[in-house]
């Protein structure tokens, strides 16, 4: 399933834009819409080849989502793309009331997720978007982990009947998957199964760090199962509960505030059904600051090292809580 960690780096924005173009070429009845984000969201090639199906509202994200809703009400599949701070916060009410509530076929593509917008500072760093959007009914919420996953996720969301929020990154990030990778909405991917000491549940670009952690854990004698939970909603309850039963200890890894994202979703599920110790690798509940994504991940604890620490903590708890 998983390719070795390659040197190749591709931006998830570019992957999204390429996938959108391919879908349109294949005959999907797609309209693309941006808020002065055509180039910055990778939609330039689509806009150039399909100008009659391309809308740009200028810097007006609320209007972007309203127009998207109107277009979708006539039967079109609409991809609306901007930055995740704006799609989840500036235009939150439009997303909730006019897309999610009437179940309109709008795919909101939210770029610059997590620390990928790091150099811009807090105004552009969306660490809250997944928690916000997850609390809205009717929306499918996906967080692909690399360019390959983003391409497949774009296709999967186009085939999904209803509203979608897809969070992607910005600059080039490591390619993690090969052509054997599959992406099915609502179905977690088991990436590797060294053993059943604990399960690592991860989504987004931090899957790279989680993959790096696996051999290091093994060196310490810890045999883990690594699962990519690319869909936060609908959550793959079955796979997550099975991993809790098989392993008895879980860590979650995500580029998000510790409140509201994957960690919360998993904790909500397990606490009601099968409580096991859970440790969360996530950004602390505070505003961060400007720097490169790599430096910010280091400063705020979203690293391979943090995953190792969390693994040791959760195993300690598993042992002592037995």
Partner 1 sequence: MDKKNIYNDDLIRSLEYQARKIRYEIVRVASLMGEERRAHPGPALSITDIMVALYYGVMKIDPYNPHWENRDRLILSKGHACLVLYTILSDLGYFDRRHLDTLRHIGSILQGHPDMRKTPGIDMTTGSLGNGLGLGLGIALAAKIDGRSYHTYVIIGDGESQEGVIWEAAQTAVKYNLDNLTAFLDVNGWQSCGSVLETMPGQRNRERWEAFGWNVININGHSFTEILTAIEAARNYKEKPTIILANTIKGKGISYMENDNSWHQKAPSAEQLEIARRELEIL
Which of the residues are catalytic?
61
Cα angle, residue 182 at apex, residues 25 and 164 outer, rounded to 5°: 65
Provide the residue count of the chain. Answer: 322
Handedness of CA 107, 226, 211, 6 (dihedral sign): negative
Residue list 200-259, contact with partner 1 (CB under 8 A): none
Q: Do the beta carbons of residue 34 and residue 80 sit within 8 Å?
A: yes
Q: For partner 1, give the closer residue by CB, 72 or 280.
A: 72
Spell out, one character per residue from 63 to 102, where the chain touches partner 1: x when CB under 8 A holds, - when not: x--xxxxxxxxxxx----------------xx--xx--xx
Residue 320: exposure state from Cβ atoms within 10 A (0-12, 13-18, ≥19): exposed
Q: Do the beta carbons of residue 296 and residue 288 sit within 8 Å?
A: yes
262 three-state secondary structure? helix
Residue list 98-137, contact with partner 1 (CB under 8 A): 98, 101-103
> Does residue 139 touch partner 1 according to CB under 8 A?
no
> Does residue 31 touch partner 1 according to CB under 8 A?
yes
Distance CA 59, CA 168 (A): 20
Q: Is the peptide bond before 234 cis (omega within 30 degrees of 0)?
A: yes
Six token digits for residue 35 = 């808020």
Tokens 């200890």 -> residue: 249
Q: For partner 1, give the closer residue by CB, 2 or 55.
A: 55
> Does residue 38 touch partner 1 according to CB under 8 A?
no
> Does residue 62 touch partner 1 according to CB under 8 A?
yes
Q: For partner 1, give the closer residue by CB, 27 or 221.
A: 27
> Which residue among 53, 124, 242, 309 contacts partner 1 (CB under 8 A)?
53
Q: For partner 1, give the closer residue by CB, 53 or 317.
A: 53
Determine the size of the site formed for partner 1 (CB under 8 A): 27
Distance CA 8, CA 10 (A): 7
We find the least distance from the C-beta atom of residue 63 to partner 1, in angstroms, to be 4
Six token digits for residue 99 = 């897309």
We find the least distance from the C-beta atom of residue 59 to partner 1, in angstroms, to be 9
Q: For partner 1, give the closer residue by CB, 94 or 173.
A: 94
Candidate segments 53-61, 151-159, 180-188, 258-266, binder of partner 1 by CB under 8 A:
53-61
User: Which secondary-structure segment (H or E) carries 252?
Assistant: strand 250-257
Q: Do the beta carbons of residue 289 and residue 125 sit within 8 Å?
A: no
Distance CA 102, CA 249 (A): 39
User: Which secondary-structure segment (H or E) carries 212?
Assistant: helix 207-219
Distance CA 61, CA 110 (A): 11
CA end-to-end span of the chain: 34
Q: What residue ranges bind partner 1 (CB under 8 A)?
A: 31, 52-53, 55, 57-58, 60, 62-63, 66-76, 93-94, 97-98, 101-103
């Amino acid at each position: 399933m998983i390719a070795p960690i390659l040197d190749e780096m591709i931006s998830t924005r570019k992957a999204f834009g390429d996938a959108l173009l391919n879908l349109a070429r294949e005959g999907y009845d797609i309209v693309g819409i941006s808020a002065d984000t055509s180039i910055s969201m990778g939609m330039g090639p689509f806009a150039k080849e399909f100008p009659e199906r391309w809308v740009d509202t200028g810097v007006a994200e609320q209007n972007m989502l309203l127009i998207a809703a109107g277009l979708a009400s006539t039967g079109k599949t609409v991809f609306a793309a901007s930055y995740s701070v704006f799609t989840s916060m500036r235009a939150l009410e439009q997303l909730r009331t006019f897309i999610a509530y009437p179940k309109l076929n709008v795919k909101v593509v939210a770029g610059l997720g997590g620390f990928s917008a790091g150099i811009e500072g807090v105004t552009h760093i969306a660490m809250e978007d997944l928690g916000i959007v997850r609390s809205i009914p009717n929306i499918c919420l996906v967080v692909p982990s690399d360019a390959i996953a983003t391409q497949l996720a774009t296709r999967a969301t186009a085939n999904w009947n209803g509203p979608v929020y897809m969070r992607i990154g910005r600059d080039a990030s490591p390619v993690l998957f090969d052509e054997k990778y599959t992406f099915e909405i609502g179905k977690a991917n088991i990436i590797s199964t060294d053993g059943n000491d604990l399960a690592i549940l991860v989504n987004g670009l931090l899957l790279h760090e989680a993959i790096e952690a696996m051999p290091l854990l093994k060196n310490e004698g810890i045999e883990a199962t690594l699962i990519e939970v690319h869909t936060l909603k609908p959550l793959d309850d079955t796979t997550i509960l099975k991993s809790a039963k098989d392993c008895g200890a879980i860590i979650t890894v995500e580029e998000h505030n510790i409140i509201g994202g994957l960690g919360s979703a998993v904790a909500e599920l397990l606490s009601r059904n099968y409580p096991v110790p859970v440790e969360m690798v996530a950004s602390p509940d505070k505003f961060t600051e400007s720097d490169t994504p790599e430096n910010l991940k280091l400063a705020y604890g979203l690293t391979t090292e943090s995953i190792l620490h969390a693994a040791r903590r959760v195993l300690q708890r598993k042992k002592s809580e037995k």
